[in-house]
């Protein structure tokens, strides 16, 4: 019975809305665009910040990276074109770090090499990194096939290598290559695994494995290849001697990362006054990016709030513009014998139906706009649930409040005053 | 309002089938005097309408407008009254109070023995719905609704099923001569036709009392004649009709006349 009544009210409401097509569609449009704009804006904001954060997280937020750097002074001093340049991180640095900071969990030294490699029919210049097994604890990536380096590889100084996906691609190596030989210079390595690598990020820092084709044990690298690296460039040649290209430091507790980094920096300036190193703290960048993303999000949120407000004012105007007409109608209905509640229920049903359908369409339009933005600009967009709830909630409340307000006021007039209204 | 024999049987409408459940009795008495309303007082409000020192005062700034300045009146069942008087004499105010659209400032108004002042807003709505029908000078139809839907309005608030209500509305439209216009909207009709829709709407819930404020005010003579004929026919079928007009020839259709001046009932002419 109750349901029947509701159903009847609903049908009546829809019918009445259809009778006021212009007013209804304008109101609905207000809600649709209010919701749509808010959802789309927040989707852009959310997408942009999520992307930045993901990229930085790939660097490892517990890590600190030290990188060898040929500093400007050093470069200038090397007047002669054929002079060998010595610079960068030393094995001693790594030992010192490990011995000094109790907050440090692992230190991972790496040594970069560029070597021509032969694999079956293929040959390619590979970017090889000599490192320790801990690398794979700090730079956590999926293992596609086989295994990563282990302590025993170090212990036995085995000629083994782990390819990255980009290395495997260069050599056209499939996952079935495990156990096959890879010739690097005059040495032969056994391929023991393939790991994924994270292509370089765009937000300030490169991931440590973005330009790596293969990993070998660092002691093997040190034993077989000299620290001297010669680069030929248009007739002349440059030689540089670098012990370690990188030291990755992982900190046990994320709260200690920034203090440790500061300490590290002090220690390094002491031992490398010439400044031939670079210190990079992903966490600091993460913090900055998060702050940036927040600003970005708030900006978009403000724009969204303003569009919601504008939409709301639109809805309000349309509703209030029809007050006279509605007040008369209410006067007529009241004169005939409608009770206040019946009038208010009728208008409530109308505005709820209107606002709800507007909100529903808006939740389709909003993500669609977000998709279009993604398509046109390449910006990632994510539609978070809260944005839909928020937008629909606010737009519907505006619609209902301003739809109902004139009705409630008119219903509370004496019927004769409602009839006389103009 | 049930098994009550009217105290007197005055001349009035012929004995026609009563449409609202009261016995098909001849119309009751119609004292329209100031103080000597004695007989009806004892008989649970023998009159249909009883007004005692009814006043309606509008406050306009620091000025008081006495739209009704102490009206005493008794109107009987089944009577057809015309309220006449100069512009501003309080005719509309009177009719609106009678129709429970407006509340008097003071005084007592009993309709069907019920003191209207005792009713709260909902009860008053219910009272209008069951006992009163309105016909306005400006028709007051809802423009978005069709003729049938306008006629159905009272039935909707009475909670009638849709099918039954539609059929009933069609029947009434037929009765006022609009059977072929039922799906039209008001603005597609002439003034006379619109007023007939209004009459049909006022009849839908079969109220015993019809109130009409200058029902022909916006119509030409010929159309006015048709509407008056319709009202007369309804009166003959037992409806009590109270109509405001300031046209003598329109008033001539009514059985009794009441003249108003400055918010009081100035003169009563029975069986004019
Ligand atoms: N809402 C109102 N506020 C203030 N004064 C009012 C109001 N309604 C009516 N009046 C005043 O009450 C008096 C009676 O008005 P009413 O409308 O009853 O006159 P009427 O006899 O119907 O006149 P007409 O023939 O012109 O329709 C007038 O002086 C009018 O100005
Ligand atoms: Mg008037």
Q: Are B240 and B79 in contact (CB under 8 A)?
A: yes
Which pairing describes strands B240-244 and B80-85: parallel, antiparallel, or unpaired?
Answer: parallel
Average pLDDT over residues B40-49: 57
A144-148, A218-222, A290-294, B95-99 — which is least confidently predicted? A290-294
pLDDT band of residue B29 (cuts 50, 70, 90) is very low
Q: Are B54 and B14 in contact (CB under 8 A)?
A: no
Q: Among A194, A225, A252, where does a domain finish?
A: A252
**What distances in angstroms separate CA A27 from CA A6, A86, B2, one per listed residue?**
23, 73, 51
**A5-45 pLDDT tens trace:** 778 778 878 887 887 788 888 888 888 888 888 888 888 88
Q: Among A226, A252, A278, where does a domain finish?
A: A252
Q: What's this model's pTM, rounded to 2 decimal places?
A: 0.68
Residues B101, A416: C-beta atoms closer than 8 Å: yes
Say yes or no to pLDDT of B97 above 90.
yes
Residues B125, A339: C-beta atoms closer than 8 Å: yes
Nearest residue (CA) to ligand 1, atom 28: B88
Identify the residue with better confidence: B28 or B240: B240
What's the confidence (pLDDT) of residue A189?
Answer: 92
Strands (E), A149-307: 160-164, 181-184, 187-195, 214-217, 228-233, 236-241, 246-251, 277-280
What's the confidence (pLDDT) of residue B30?
Answer: 40
- Looking at the structure, tell me whether residues A338 and A409 fall in a common domain: yes
Chain A, 10-39: which have a CB under 8 Å from a chain B CB?
12, 16, 19-20
- In angstroms, the CA B187 to CA A221 distance is 96
**ipTM of the complex as predicted:** 0.82
pLDDT band of residue B7 (cuts 50, 70, 90) is very low
Say yes or no to pLDDT of A256 above 80.
yes
Cα angle at A333 between A328 and A337, to 5 degrees? 145
- In angstroms, the CA B47 to CA B37 distance is 10
How many other C-beta atoms can be found within 10 angstroms of the C-beta atom of residue A50? 15
- Looking at the structure, tell me whether residues A356 and A331 fall in a common domain: yes
Domains of chain B, residue spans:
2-269
Does A281 fall in a domain? no
Counted across chains A and B, CB pairs separated by less than 8 A come out at: 64
Does A263 fall in a domain? no
- Looking at the structure, tell me whether residues A221 and A171 fall in a common domain: yes
A301-315, B162-176, B207-221 — which is least confidently predicted? A301-315
Residue A231 lies in domain? 63-252
Instruction: Name the residue in chain B with its Cα closest to that of A11.
Output: B162
Does A332 fall in a domain? yes
Q: For chain A, what percent of residues have pLDDT higher than 70?
A: 91
Residues A416, B153: C-beta atoms closer than 8 Å: no
Mean pLDDT of chain A: 83
What's the confidence (pLDDT) of residue B5?
Answer: 41
- Looking at the structure, tell me whether residues A206 and A93 fall in a common domain: yes
- Looking at the structure, tell me whether residues A105 and A126 fall in a common domain: yes
What's the confidence (pLDDT) of residue B110?
Answer: 93
Average pLDDT over residues A333-359: 88
Chain A, 398-417: which have a CB under 8 Å from a chain B CB?
414-416
Fold annotation for B2-269: Rossmann fold (3.40.50)
């Amino acid at each position: 019975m109750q349901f029947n009544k509701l159903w009847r009210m609903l049908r009546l409401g829809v019918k009445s809305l259809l009778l006021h097509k212009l007013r209804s569609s304008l109101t609905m449009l207000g809600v649709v665009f209010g919701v749509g704009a808010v959802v789309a804006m927040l989707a852009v904001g959310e997408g942009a910040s999520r992307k930045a954060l993901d990229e930085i997280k790939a660097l490892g937020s517990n890590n600190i990276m030290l990188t060898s750097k040929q500093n400007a002074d050093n470069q200038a001093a090397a007047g002669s074109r054929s002079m060998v340049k010595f610079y960068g991180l030393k094995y001693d640095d790594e030992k010192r770090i490990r011995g000094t900071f109790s907050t440090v969990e692992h230190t991972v030294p790496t040594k970069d090499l560029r070597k021509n490699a032969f694999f079956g029919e293929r040959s390619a210049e590979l970017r090889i990194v000599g490192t320790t097994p801990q690398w794979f604890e700090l730079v956590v990536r999926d293992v596609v096939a086989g295994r990563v380096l282990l302590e025993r590889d170090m212990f036995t100084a085995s000629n083994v290598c782990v390819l990255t996906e980009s290395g495997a691609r260069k050599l056209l190596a499939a996952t079935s290559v495990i156990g096959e030989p890879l010739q690097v210079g005059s040495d032969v390595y056994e391929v023991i695994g393939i790991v994924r690598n994270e292509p370089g990020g765009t937000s300030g820092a490169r991931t440590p494995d973005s330009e790596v084709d293969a990993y070998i044990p660092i002691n093997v690298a040190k034993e077989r290849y000299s620290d001297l690296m010669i680069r030929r460039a248009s007739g002349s040649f440059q030689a540089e001697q670098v012990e370690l290209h990188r030291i990755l430091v992982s900190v046990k507790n994320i709260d200690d990362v920034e203090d440790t980094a500061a300490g590290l920096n002090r220690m390094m300036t002491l031992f490398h006054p010439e400044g031939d190193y670079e210190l990079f703290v992903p966490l600091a960048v993460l913090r900055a990016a998060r702050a940036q993303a927040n600003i970005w999000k708030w900006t978009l949120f403000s724009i969204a709030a303003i569009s919601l407000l504008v939409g709301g004012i639109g809805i309000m105007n349309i509703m209030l513009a029809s007050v006279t007409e509605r007040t008369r109608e209410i006067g007529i209905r009241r004169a005939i014998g409608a009770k206040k509640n019946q009038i208010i229920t009728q208008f409530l049903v109308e505005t709820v139906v209107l606002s709800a359908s507007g909100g529903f369409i808006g939740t389709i339009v909003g993500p669609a706009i977000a998709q279009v933005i993604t398509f046109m600009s390449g910006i990632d967009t994510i539609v978070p649930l809260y944005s839909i709830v928020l937008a629909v909630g606010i737009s519907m409340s505006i619609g209902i409040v301003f739809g109902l307000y004139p009705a409630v006021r008119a219903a509370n007039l004496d019927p004769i005053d409602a009839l006389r209204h103009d | 309002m049930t098994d009550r024999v009217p105290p007197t049987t005055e001349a009035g409408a012929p004995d026609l089938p009563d449409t609202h459940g009261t016995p098909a009795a001849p119309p009751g008495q119609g004292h329209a005097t100031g103080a000597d309303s004695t007989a009806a007082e004892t008989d649970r409000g023998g009159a249909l309408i009883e007004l005692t020192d009814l006043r309606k005062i509008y406050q306009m700034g620091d000025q008081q407008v006495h739209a009704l300045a102490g009206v005493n009146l008794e109107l009987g069942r089944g009577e057809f009254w015309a309220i006449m008087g100069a512009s501003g004499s309080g005719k509309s105010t009177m009719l609106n109070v009678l129709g429970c659209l407006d509340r008097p400032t003071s005084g007592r108004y009993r309709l069907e023995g019920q003191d209207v002042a005792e009713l709260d807003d909902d009860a008053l709505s219910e009272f209008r719905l069951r006992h009163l029908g309105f016909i306005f000078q400006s028709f007051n139809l809802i423009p978005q609704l069709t003729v049938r839907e306008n006629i159905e309005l009272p039935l909707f608030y009475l909670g009638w099923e849709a099918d039954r209500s539609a059929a009933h509305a069609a029947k009434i439209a037929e009765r006022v001569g609009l059977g072929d216009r039922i799906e039209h909207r008001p603005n597609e009709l002439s003034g006379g036709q619109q007023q007939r829709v209004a009459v049909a709407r006022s009849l839908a819930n079969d109220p015993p009392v019809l109130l009409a404020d200058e029902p022909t005010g916006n119509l030409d003579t010929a159309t006015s004649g048709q509407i008056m004929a319709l009202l007369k026919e309804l009166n003959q079928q037992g409806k009590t009709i109270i109509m405001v007009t300031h046209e003598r020839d329109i008033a001539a259709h009514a059985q009794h006349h009441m003249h108003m001046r400055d918010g009081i009932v100035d003169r009563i002419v029975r069986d004019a």
